[in-house]
Protein backbone atom coordinates (compact mmCIF):
# COMPACT_ATOMS: atom_id res chain seq x y z
CA UNK A 1 0.00 0.00 0.00
CA UNK A 2 1.41 3.36 -0.97
CA UNK A 3 1.75 5.72 1.91
CA UNK A 4 0.27 9.17 1.87
CA UNK A 5 -0.78 11.86 4.25
CA UNK A 6 -2.92 9.32 6.14
CA UNK A 7 0.10 7.25 7.20
CA UNK A 8 1.49 3.93 6.02
CA UNK A 9 4.92 3.18 4.68
CA UNK A 10 6.37 5.88 2.48
CA UNK A 11 7.89 5.00 -0.87
CA UNK A 12 11.51 5.58 -1.81
CA UNK A 13 12.63 9.19 -1.93
CA UNK A 14 13.12 10.75 -5.34
CA UNK A 15 16.48 12.08 -6.45
CA UNK A 16 16.92 15.75 -7.09
CA UNK A 17 16.22 15.08 -10.79
CA UNK A 18 12.72 13.87 -9.88
CA UNK A 19 13.41 10.30 -11.11
CA UNK A 20 13.07 7.33 -8.81
CA UNK A 21 16.41 5.54 -8.22
CA UNK A 22 16.82 2.28 -10.09
CA UNK A 23 15.52 -0.74 -8.24
CA UNK A 24 13.70 1.52 -5.81
CA UNK A 25 16.82 1.87 -3.67
CA UNK A 26 18.54 4.91 -2.36
CA UNK A 27 21.72 5.73 -4.21
CA UNK A 28 24.76 5.14 -2.04
CA UNK A 29 26.27 8.35 -0.77
CA UNK A 30 29.46 9.32 -2.49
CA UNK A 31 32.41 9.49 -0.13
CA UNK A 32 33.22 13.07 0.71
CA UNK A 33 36.50 14.28 -0.67
CA UNK A 34 39.19 14.34 2.03
CA UNK A 35 39.97 17.81 3.23
CA UNK A 36 43.47 18.80 2.18
CA UNK A 37 45.96 18.46 5.00
CA UNK A 38 47.29 21.76 6.26
CA UNK A 39 50.88 22.34 5.27
CA UNK A 40 53.50 21.56 7.89
CA UNK A 41 54.45 24.65 9.88
CA UNK A 42 57.49 26.31 8.39
CA UNK A 43 60.67 25.75 10.35
CA UNK A 44 63.85 27.80 10.20
CA UNK A 45 67.04 26.27 8.80
CA UNK A 46 68.45 24.00 11.51
CA UNK A 47 71.72 22.06 11.82
CA UNK A 48 71.75 18.27 12.05
CA UNK A 49 70.29 16.79 15.22
CA UNK A 50 70.13 13.38 16.85
CA UNK A 51 69.02 11.58 19.97
CA UNK A 52 71.86 10.84 22.38
CA UNK A 53 71.70 8.32 25.22
CA UNK A 54 73.13 9.59 28.51
CA UNK A 55 74.06 6.41 30.41
CA UNK A 56 71.95 5.99 33.52
CA UNK A 57 70.07 9.23 32.86
CA UNK A 58 67.95 8.91 29.73
CA UNK A 59 67.82 10.24 26.19
CA UNK A 60 68.02 13.80 24.98
CA UNK A 61 67.95 15.58 21.64
CA UNK A 62 71.15 17.31 20.58
CA UNK A 63 72.20 19.54 17.69
CA UNK A 64 75.87 19.79 16.72
CA UNK A 65 77.70 22.10 14.33
CA UNK A 66 81.41 21.77 13.65
CA UNK A 67 83.27 25.05 13.65
CA UNK A 68 86.73 25.98 12.36
CA UNK A 69 89.67 23.66 13.15
CA UNK A 70 90.80 24.07 16.75
CA UNK A 71 87.75 26.15 17.68
CA UNK A 72 86.49 26.02 21.28
CA UNK A 73 83.14 24.40 22.01
CA UNK A 74 80.12 26.32 23.24
CA UNK A 75 77.24 24.39 24.81
CA UNK A 76 73.95 26.27 24.56
CA UNK A 77 71.47 25.95 27.44
CA UNK A 78 67.97 27.21 26.70
CA UNK A 79 65.47 28.95 28.94
CA UNK A 80 62.44 27.77 30.90
CA UNK A 81 59.56 26.33 28.79
CA UNK A 82 61.62 26.65 25.58
CA UNK A 83 63.67 24.17 23.54
CA UNK A 84 67.19 24.36 22.19
CA UNK A 85 65.89 25.19 18.72
CA UNK A 86 63.38 27.79 19.82
CA UNK A 87 65.90 29.61 22.00
CA UNK A 88 68.93 29.38 19.73
CA UNK A 89 67.86 28.87 16.09
CA UNK A 90 68.97 32.38 15.03
CA UNK A 91 72.33 31.85 16.77
CA UNK A 92 73.47 28.48 15.42
CA UNK A 93 75.04 29.60 12.15
CA UNK A 94 76.68 32.83 13.39
CA UNK A 95 78.25 31.01 16.35
CA UNK A 96 79.44 28.14 14.14
CA UNK A 97 81.66 30.54 12.19
CA UNK A 98 83.90 30.75 15.27
CA UNK A 99 82.96 27.82 17.54
CA UNK A 100 81.95 24.21 17.67
CA UNK A 101 78.31 24.43 18.72
CA UNK A 102 76.35 21.93 20.82
CA UNK A 103 72.77 22.52 21.96
CA UNK A 104 70.54 20.14 23.88
CA UNK A 105 66.94 20.03 25.03
CA UNK A 106 67.04 20.17 28.82
CA UNK A 107 65.16 17.60 30.86
CA UNK A 108 61.40 17.78 30.53
CA UNK A 109 61.70 20.37 27.77
CA UNK A 110 61.37 19.55 24.08
CA UNK A 111 62.76 16.06 23.54
CA UNK A 112 64.97 16.21 26.62
CA UNK A 113 65.39 13.57 29.33
CA UNK A 114 62.10 12.24 30.71
CA UNK A 115 62.08 11.12 34.33
CA UNK A 116 59.59 10.59 37.13
CA UNK A 117 62.16 12.03 39.52
CA UNK A 118 61.35 15.57 40.67
CA UNK A 119 63.01 18.13 38.42
CA UNK A 120 66.22 19.72 39.68
CA UNK A 121 68.62 22.21 38.13
CA UNK A 122 71.48 20.12 39.51
CA UNK A 123 70.29 17.19 37.39
CA UNK A 124 70.29 19.49 34.36
CA UNK A 125 73.91 20.45 35.04
CA UNK A 126 74.86 16.79 35.46
CA UNK A 127 73.07 15.99 32.17
CA UNK A 128 75.38 18.45 30.41
CA UNK A 129 78.45 16.86 31.99
CA UNK A 130 77.21 13.41 30.93
CA UNK A 131 76.63 14.65 27.38
CA UNK A 132 80.13 16.12 27.24
CA UNK A 133 81.54 12.74 28.22
CA UNK A 134 79.52 10.94 25.54
CA UNK A 135 80.59 13.44 22.86
CA UNK A 136 84.22 13.45 23.97
CA UNK A 137 84.23 17.14 24.97
CA UNK A 138 86.96 17.84 27.52
CA UNK A 139 86.46 21.59 27.94
CA UNK A 140 83.56 23.86 27.06
CA UNK A 141 82.10 27.33 27.37
CA UNK A 142 78.65 27.11 28.94
CA UNK A 143 76.16 29.57 27.43
CA UNK A 144 72.96 29.84 29.45
CA UNK A 145 69.83 31.86 28.69
CA UNK A 146 67.30 32.57 31.48
CA UNK A 147 66.92 29.13 33.19
CA UNK A 148 70.04 28.08 31.31
CA UNK A 149 71.92 30.64 33.42
CA UNK A 150 71.47 28.74 36.71
CA UNK A 151 72.28 25.49 34.90
CA UNK A 152 75.53 27.02 33.60
CA UNK A 153 76.39 28.35 37.06
CA UNK A 154 75.77 24.92 38.60
CA UNK A 155 77.77 23.24 35.84
CA UNK A 156 80.78 25.35 36.82
CA UNK A 157 80.22 24.61 40.52
CA UNK A 158 79.76 20.85 40.11
CA UNK A 159 82.11 20.13 37.18
CA UNK A 160 84.82 22.78 37.31
CA UNK A 161 87.36 20.86 35.25
CA UNK A 162 84.89 20.86 32.35
CA UNK A 163 84.06 24.57 32.23
CA UNK A 164 86.46 27.01 30.55
CA UNK A 165 84.10 29.98 30.61
CA UNK A 166 80.56 31.22 31.12
CA UNK A 167 78.21 33.36 29.04
CA UNK A 168 75.10 34.19 31.06
CA UNK A 169 72.19 35.82 29.22
CA UNK A 170 68.96 37.33 30.60
CA UNK A 171 69.56 35.66 33.94
CA UNK A 172 70.41 36.31 37.58
CA UNK A 173 71.69 34.86 40.86
CA UNK A 174 68.10 34.17 41.92
CA UNK A 175 64.74 34.31 40.18
CA UNK A 176 62.29 34.86 43.05
CA UNK A 177 62.55 38.31 44.58
CA UNK A 178 61.66 39.15 48.16
CA UNK A 179 58.09 39.98 47.13
CA UNK A 180 55.65 37.46 48.69
CA UNK A 181 53.54 37.21 45.52
CA UNK A 182 56.55 36.28 43.40
CA UNK A 183 57.75 33.69 45.91
CA UNK A 184 54.26 32.20 46.08
CA UNK A 185 54.14 31.97 42.29
CA UNK A 186 57.35 29.96 42.06
CA UNK A 187 56.66 27.78 45.11
CA UNK A 188 53.24 26.78 43.73
CA UNK A 189 54.83 25.41 40.56
CA UNK A 190 55.99 22.15 42.16
CA UNK A 191 52.51 21.12 43.30
CA UNK A 192 51.04 22.14 39.96
CA UNK A 193 53.69 20.06 38.25
CA UNK A 194 52.75 16.95 40.22
CA UNK A 195 49.08 17.54 39.38
CA UNK A 196 49.90 18.04 35.70
CA UNK A 197 51.61 14.65 35.53
CA UNK A 198 48.30 13.06 36.53
CA UNK A 199 46.29 15.10 34.01
CA UNK A 200 45.33 13.37 30.73
CA UNK A 201 47.70 14.38 27.89
CA UNK A 202 44.87 15.77 25.74
CA UNK A 203 43.84 18.17 28.51
CA UNK A 204 47.45 19.21 29.10
CA UNK A 205 47.92 20.01 25.41
CA UNK A 206 44.75 22.09 25.28
CA UNK A 207 45.68 24.09 28.37
CA UNK A 208 49.24 24.68 27.25
CA UNK A 209 48.05 25.58 23.75
CA UNK A 210 45.82 28.34 25.10
CA UNK A 211 48.73 29.83 27.04
CA UNK A 212 51.11 29.60 24.11
CA UNK A 213 48.79 31.38 21.72
CA UNK A 214 48.91 34.38 24.04
CA UNK A 215 52.67 34.24 24.52
CA UNK A 216 53.59 33.80 20.87
CA UNK A 217 51.17 36.21 19.24
CA UNK A 218 53.12 38.08 16.62
CA UNK A 219 56.34 36.11 17.10
CA UNK A 220 58.33 35.10 14.02
CA UNK A 221 57.54 31.51 12.95
CA UNK A 222 54.62 31.57 15.37
CA UNK A 223 53.13 28.18 14.44
CA UNK A 224 56.48 26.40 14.50
CA UNK A 225 57.32 28.05 17.82
CA UNK A 226 54.04 26.85 19.31
CA UNK A 227 54.85 23.30 18.21
CA UNK A 228 58.26 23.58 19.84
CA UNK A 229 56.67 24.57 23.14
CA UNK A 230 54.18 21.73 22.85
CA UNK A 231 56.85 19.01 22.77
CA UNK A 232 57.75 19.42 26.45
CA UNK A 233 56.28 17.64 29.46
CA UNK A 234 54.00 20.17 31.24
CA UNK A 235 54.40 18.58 34.66
CA UNK A 236 58.18 18.66 34.56
CA UNK A 237 58.19 22.19 33.17
CA UNK A 238 56.05 23.40 36.07
CA UNK A 239 58.43 21.70 38.50
CA UNK A 240 61.27 23.49 36.72
CA UNK A 241 59.53 26.76 37.55
CA UNK A 242 59.54 25.78 41.21
CA UNK A 243 63.25 24.90 41.02
CA UNK A 244 63.98 28.29 39.49
CA UNK A 245 62.20 29.99 42.35
CA UNK A 246 64.36 28.13 44.86
CA UNK A 247 67.66 28.74 43.05
CA UNK A 248 70.10 31.11 44.77
CA UNK A 249 73.80 31.44 43.96
CA UNK A 250 74.48 34.55 46.05
CA UNK A 251 76.72 32.68 48.51
CA UNK A 252 79.07 31.11 45.99
CA UNK A 253 78.89 32.91 42.63
CA UNK A 254 81.75 35.21 43.66
CA UNK A 255 84.10 32.23 43.55
CA UNK A 256 83.73 31.81 39.77
CA UNK A 257 87.28 31.77 38.41
CA UNK A 258 86.73 31.45 34.65
CA UNK A 259 86.17 34.22 32.08
CA UNK A 260 82.52 35.26 32.25
CA UNK A 261 80.35 37.56 30.16
CA UNK A 262 76.84 38.62 31.15
CA UNK A 263 74.47 39.64 28.34
CA UNK A 264 71.97 42.03 29.93
CA UNK A 265 68.53 42.31 28.30
CA UNK A 266 68.07 46.00 28.96
CA UNK A 267 64.25 46.18 28.81
CA UNK A 268 63.59 42.83 30.48
CA UNK A 269 60.19 42.71 32.19
CA UNK A 270 60.79 39.27 33.77
CA UNK A 271 64.31 39.54 35.15
CA UNK A 272 65.01 43.17 35.91
CA UNK A 273 68.22 44.50 34.35
CA UNK A 274 69.39 45.57 37.84
CA UNK A 275 69.42 41.92 38.90
CA UNK A 276 71.33 40.95 35.77
CA UNK A 277 73.90 43.67 36.42
CA UNK A 278 74.19 42.51 40.03
CA UNK A 279 75.14 39.07 38.70
CA UNK A 280 77.87 40.62 36.55
CA UNK A 281 79.23 42.65 39.46
CA UNK A 282 79.31 39.58 41.71
CA UNK A 283 81.64 37.64 39.39
CA UNK A 284 85.26 38.84 39.45
CA UNK A 285 86.29 40.35 36.13
CA UNK A 286 82.97 39.65 34.39
CA UNK A 287 82.08 41.66 31.30
CA UNK A 288 78.54 43.08 31.06
CA UNK A 289 77.16 43.56 27.54
CA UNK A 290 73.73 45.20 27.19
CA UNK A 291 71.31 44.38 24.39
CA UNK A 292 68.17 46.42 23.75
CA UNK A 293 65.15 44.19 24.21
CA UNK A 294 62.81 42.31 26.52
CA UNK A 295 63.25 38.77 27.84
CA UNK A 296 62.46 37.18 24.46
CA UNK A 297 64.90 39.27 22.44
CA UNK A 298 66.83 36.14 21.39
CA UNK A 299 63.84 35.19 19.20
CA UNK A 300 61.90 38.43 18.78
CA UNK A 301 64.89 40.56 17.73
CA UNK A 302 67.77 38.24 16.78
CA UNK A 303 69.49 40.91 14.69
CA UNK A 304 70.10 42.81 17.90
CA UNK A 305 70.79 39.82 20.14
CA UNK A 306 73.00 37.52 18.07
CA UNK A 307 75.91 39.96 17.45
CA UNK A 308 76.09 40.67 21.18
CA UNK A 309 76.02 36.94 21.94
CA UNK A 310 78.86 36.29 19.48
CA UNK A 311 80.85 39.15 21.00
CA UNK A 312 80.32 37.73 24.50
CA UNK A 313 81.40 34.23 23.49
CA UNK A 314 84.45 35.58 21.64
CA UNK A 315 85.50 37.66 24.65
CA UNK A 316 85.22 34.65 26.94
CA UNK A 317 87.13 32.46 24.48
CA UNK A 318 89.95 35.02 24.31
CA UNK A 319 90.09 35.18 28.11
CA UNK A 320 90.13 31.40 28.23
CA UNK A 321 93.26 31.33 26.07
CA UNK A 322 94.96 34.00 28.19
CA UNK A 323 94.15 32.00 31.30
CA UNK A 324 95.67 28.90 29.74
CA UNK A 325 98.87 30.85 28.96
CA UNK A 326 99.05 32.04 32.56
CA UNK A 327 98.63 28.50 33.88
CA UNK A 328 101.28 27.11 31.52
Instruction: List the CATH number of the domain containing 84.
Output: 3.40.50.1820
9 within a domain of the structure (yes/no): no
**What distance in Å separates the CA atoms of residue 169 and residue 316, rounded to the nearest whole number?**
13
Sign of CA dihedral 10, 13, 19, 22: negative
Structural domains counted in the chain = 1
320 within a domain of the structure (yes/no): yes
30 within a domain of the structure (yes/no): no
10 within a domain of the structure (yes/no): no
pLDDT at 66: 97
Q: What is the pLDDT of residues 235-287, one digit of tens each?
A: 898 899 889 999 999 999 999 999 999 999 999 998 999 999 999 999 999 99
Lowest mean pLDDT among 25-34, 38-47, 62-71, 104-113: 25-34
29 within a domain of the structure (yes/no): no
**What mean pLDDT value characterizes the chain?**
81
pLDDT at 320: 78
Nearest in space to 260 (alpha carbons), one of 174, 165, 163, 164: 165
Residue 120 lies in domain: 49-327
19 within a domain of the structure (yes/no): no
289 within a domain of the structure (yes/no): yes
What is the rounded average pLDDT of the residues 174-187? Answer: 55
Angle between helices 234-246 and 180-197 (to 10 degrees): 150
193 within a domain of the structure (yes/no): yes
By DSSP bridging, strand 100-104 and strand 58-65 are antiparallel
Q: What is the pLDDT of residues 279-324, one digit of tens each?
A: 999 999 999 999 999 999 999 999 999 999 999 999 999 997 675 5
Q: What percent of the chain has pLDDT over 90?
A: 61
Amino acid sequence: MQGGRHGGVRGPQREASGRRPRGGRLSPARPAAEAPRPPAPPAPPLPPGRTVVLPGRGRTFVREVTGPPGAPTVVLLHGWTATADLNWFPSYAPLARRFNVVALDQRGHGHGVRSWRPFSLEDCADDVAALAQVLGIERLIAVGYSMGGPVAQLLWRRHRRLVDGLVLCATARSFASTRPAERLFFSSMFGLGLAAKATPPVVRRRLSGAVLRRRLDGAPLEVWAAEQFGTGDPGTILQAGSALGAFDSHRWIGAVDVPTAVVVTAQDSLIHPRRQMALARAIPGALALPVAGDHGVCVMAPRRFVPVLVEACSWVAAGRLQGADCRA
